[in-house]
């Protein structure tokens, strides 16, 4: 306070600006480096106290500290990062820092520098991302690939900061899509699976952390990182295509395992993680096609509380009653929920084989039968297989009529399989008969039906943009023109549920 009253902070800021200007402009002289290390340390100490941060920004020192992010000396850089991170804890100071050209330098450090510099930079950027202009600059300077590349790190605190940056920037719809395109959803789920696996504790103990952490601190940091990943996935699934990818990548199973109570560990942290996991699941449930999946997970009374929370509720406290109710269940009930969660694991052994195809998941049912996600016994590619019950009255009253209908269907599908090649029309690969059922193997479309997009938008009280509508409509017209004009085929069942929207709104009929 004496230093402030004597205008010492302002004089120190002016002197730091002069030394920094010489250092950045004319090269590294050791005495300049030593001075800057000491001055950044002083400003770091000043900024550590909330009431003193305004003194630092009033002096203009934050501008010099931002300039020093271009320093070549590691100690100068670390000093500037620590001081700026302390300042950014206060909203007023954070706003002043965000008005400067800082994001491009931060992204360069995240891309090219050592682990400690990356960790401090990620924490500073996490704080600054509370400001809209910083989030916009991350997008402008193509920061998403840089941030996602850091998800391969084994450093818990670095990962935590990076994931919380993603939580904030993916509020922008375009950025949310970009994160999916760059593989961000798969990476977040991979982190969750890695931290939840049986050998996670041993693996984390061996990480090259920049500080020594006790087992309890490692455990708390692990919970915090898992909660952050759930928060990021919660924001990402507001986009329906993102939500579909989370389900396709076994995300419901991965997240649902985190709701189970763990009485041996930190109760407060465990309960908070359960809330974050429940919130991510509730956002996924809001997409209509996912709802049957969740009915398999919870007993009736728990499911009612889960539903009553409502769609897309971000307030984490809204999920506390659900967690309390779950944690009070007796052991047998918890065991049943754990078994229910295992039942939605897409990586479990195939439930059965039909012909040469492993049945992996039930995708839906219609008037004539079911659709399954399958994989060929000898391959890795995922396919869709439609099972048609030939005893349906639509195929005829007796065996003779049914055989005739099946013969015609197989003949038509053979022609379609050999002749249809269009980017907006589903590919058919094979038909075969087994146990009075007709099976049609076709391309598995990654996406969701147009009808589900309509329902989802209605629940969110959003609308399709005119540009998006035209993009979908034009592709639909191209598909129908190809079928009608070039192949002389009439669809006869064109509904929103038979029009699939995939990545970048690619239409498949």
Note the pLDDT tens digit of each residue in 360-398. 887 777 666 788 889 888 777 889 999 987 777 766 667
Q: What pLDDT, on the 0 to 100 scale, is given for residue 199?
A: 47
Rounded CA-CA distance 486/335 in Å is 57
Tokens 């759930």 locate to 230
User: In Å, what is the CA distance from 320 to each residue of 340, 376, 403?
Assistant: 22, 44, 58
Q: Which of 340, 349, 362, 312 is nearest to 256 (CA)?
A: 340
Do 3 and 9 contact (CB within 8 A), yes or no?
Answer: yes
Mean pLDDT of the 22-33 span: 84
pLDDT category at 206 given cuts 50, 70, 90 is very low
Q: What pLDDT, on the 0 to 100 scale, is given for residue 133?
A: 96
Q: Is 493 a catalytic residue?
A: yes
Mean pLDDT of the 85-111 span: 96
CA dihedral 320, 323, 328, 330 (to 10 degrees): 170
Domain spans, the chain: 226-347, 352-443, 448-508
Is position 458 annotated in a ligand binding site? Answer: no
* Model pTM above 0.85: no
pLDDT category at 265 given cuts 50, 70, 90 is low
User: In Å, what is the CA distance from 92 to each residue of 7, 17, 89, 96, 103?
Assistant: 21, 22, 9, 7, 18
Q: pLDDT digit string (tens) for 393-427?
A: 766 667 777 777 777 777 767 766 767 889 999 98
The DSSP-derived string for 43-94 is HHHHHTSGGGHHHHHHTTHHHHHHHGGG-SSHHHHHHHHHHHHHHTTSHHHH
Rounded CA-CA distance 361/350 in Å is 8
Which are the contacts of 362, defined by CB distance < 8 A and separation ≥ 6? Answer: 370, 371, 372, 373
Q: pLDDT digit string (tens) for 292-302?
A: 778 778 888 89
Q: Is the pLDDT of residue 209 over 50?
A: no
Tokens 């146990």 locate to 435
Mean pLDDT of the 258-273 span: 83
Nearest-10 crossing angle of helices 184-196, 156-169: 140
Catalytic residue among 51, 315, 398, 493: 493
pLDDT category at 60 given cuts 50, 70, 90 is very high
Q: What pLDDT, on the 0 to 100 scale, is given for residue 394?
A: 67
Average the pLDDT over each of 76-80, 103-107, 387-391, 426-430 and give the range with the smallest value: 387-391
Rounded CA-CA distance 229/232 in Å is 5
CATH T-level topology, domain 352-443: Phosphorylase Kinase; domain 1 (3.30.200)
Do 462 and 470 contact (CB within 8 A), yes or no?
Answer: no
Q: What are phi and psi of 345, to 5 degrees?
A: -70, 110
Q: How far does Cα 207 stand from its chain's mean position?
A: 24
More confidently predicted of 129 and 204: 129
Mean residue pLDDT of the chain comes to 88
């Amino acid at each position: 306070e004496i230093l402030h009253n004597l205008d010492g902070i302002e004089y120190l800021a002016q002197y730091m600006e002069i030394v920094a200007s010489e250092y950045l402009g004319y090269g590294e002289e050791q005495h300049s480096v030593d001075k800057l290390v000491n001055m950044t340390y002083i400003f770091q100490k000043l900024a550590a106290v909330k009431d003193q941060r305004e003194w630092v920004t009033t002096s203009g020192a934050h501008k010099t500290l931002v300039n020093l992010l271009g320093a070549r000396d590691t100690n100068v850089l670390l000093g500037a990062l620590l001081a700026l991170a302390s300042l950014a804890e206060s909203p007023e100071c954070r706003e002043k820092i965000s008005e400067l050209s800082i994001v491009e330098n931060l992204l360069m450090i995240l891309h090219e520098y050592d682990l400690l510099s990356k960790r401090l930079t990620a924490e500073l950027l996490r704080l600054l991302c509370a400001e809209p202009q910083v989030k916009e600059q991350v997008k402008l300077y193509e920061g998403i690939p840089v941030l996602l590349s850091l998800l391969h790190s084994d450093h818990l605190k670095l990962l935590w900061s990076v994931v919380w940056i993603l939580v904030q920037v993916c509020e922008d719809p375009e950025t949310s899509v970009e994160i999916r395109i760059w593989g961000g959803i798969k990476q977040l789920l991979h982190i969750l699976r890695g931290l939840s696996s049986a050998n996670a504790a041993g693996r984390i103990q061996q990480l090259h952390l920049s500080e020594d952490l006790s087992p309890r601190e490692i455990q708390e940091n692990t919970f915090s990182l898992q909660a952050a990943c759930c928060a990021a996935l919660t924001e990402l699934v507001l986009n329906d295509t993102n939500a579909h990818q989370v389900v396709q990548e076994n995300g419901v199973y991965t997240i649902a395992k985190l709701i189970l109570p763990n009485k041996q560990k930190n109760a407060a942290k465990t309960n908070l993680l359960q809330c974050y996991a429940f919130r991510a699941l509730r956002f996924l449930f809001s997409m209509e096609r996912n709802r049957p999946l969740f009915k398999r997970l919870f007993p009736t009374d728990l499911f009612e509380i889960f539903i009553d929370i409502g769609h897309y509720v971000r307030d984490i406290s809204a999920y506390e009653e659900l967690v309390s109710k779950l944690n009070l269940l007796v052991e047998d009930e918890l065991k049943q929920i754990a078994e229910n969660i295992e039942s939605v694991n897409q990586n479990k052994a195939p439930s059965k084989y039909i012909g040469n195809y492993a049945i992996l998941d039930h995708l839906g049912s219609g008037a004539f039968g079911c659709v399954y996600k399958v994989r060929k016994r000898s391959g890795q590619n995922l396919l869709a297989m439609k099972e048609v019950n030939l005893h349906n009255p639509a195929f005829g009253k007796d065996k003779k009529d049914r055989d005739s209908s099946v013969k015609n269907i197989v003949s038509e599908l053979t022609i379609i399989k050999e002749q249809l090649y269009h980017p907006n029309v589903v590919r058919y690969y094979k038909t075969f008969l087994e146990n009075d059922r007709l099976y049609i193997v076709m391309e598995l479309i990654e996406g969701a039906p147009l009808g589900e997009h309509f329902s989802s938008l209605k629940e969110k009280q959003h609308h399709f943009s005119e540009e998006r509508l035209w993009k979908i409509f034009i592709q639909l017209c191209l598909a129908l023109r190809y079928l009608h004009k070039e192949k002389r085929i009439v669809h006869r069942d064109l509904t929103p549920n038979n029009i699939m929207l995939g990545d970048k709104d690619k239409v498949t009929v």
